[in-house]
Amino acid sequence: MCLPENCCHESVNLKTMHELSLAMEVVDLALNELNTKQLKSVLELEVEVGDLSGVEYETFQTAMEMAVKGTLMENTTVILNRVHGLGKCSNCGEEFKMEHRVSLCPVCKGFPGEILSGTEFRIVSLLVE
């Protein structure tokens, strides 16, 4: 596995280093689970990535492909679920899709009083044998 400071992949740059370090941590967590429970392999890994989480979905997808190479997870099915941002307006109560954390309500132009979804970044499931 390549490390960000000496990676042989042309697509790695400062922008992708954040996602690559996160992908490497996800792989490490899964492999640690294998070692702790003395299991053979990770068959499937499912991760949620929210649009408002600060993790770029497409970049993280590429980073995961890079992070599993040369590991016991090279043949693991990796499922990434994109979670779209959803907010609730503090003024009128309208629920609306959020592209950014500061998206305004399309009805009254108010700020979201609550972010209902899109901040997720988590391992949802790990299927092992």
In a domain, 22, yes or no: yes
If DSSP codes are grouped into helix, strand and coil, which group holds residue 46? strand
Average pLDDT value for residue range 80-94: 97
Cβ distance 64 to 80 under 8 Å? yes
In a domain, 2, yes or no: no
CA–CA gap between residue 126 and residue 42 (Å, rounded): 7
106 lies in which domain range?
12-128
pLDDT at residue 111 is higher than 70: yes
In a domain, 90, yes or no: yes
3-class SS shares of the chain: helix, strand, coil, % to 5: 30, 30, 40
Confidence of residue 10 (pLDDT cuts 50, 70, 90): low
**Number of domains within the chain:** 1
In a domain, 39, yes or no: yes
CATH number of the domain that 85 lies in?
3.30.2320.80
The continuous run of DSSP H or E covering 60 comes out as helix 57-68
More confident residue, 98 or 13: 98
CB neighbourhood size of 45 (10 A): 23
Average pLDDT value for residue range 42-63: 97
pLDDT at residue 127 is higher than 60: yes
Looking from the CA of 11 toward its CB, the CA atoms found within 13 Å total: 11
In a domain, 7, yes or no: no
Average pLDDT value for residue range 62-83: 97
In a domain, 64, yes or no: yes
pLDDT at residue 74 is higher than 70: yes
In a domain, 6, yes or no: no
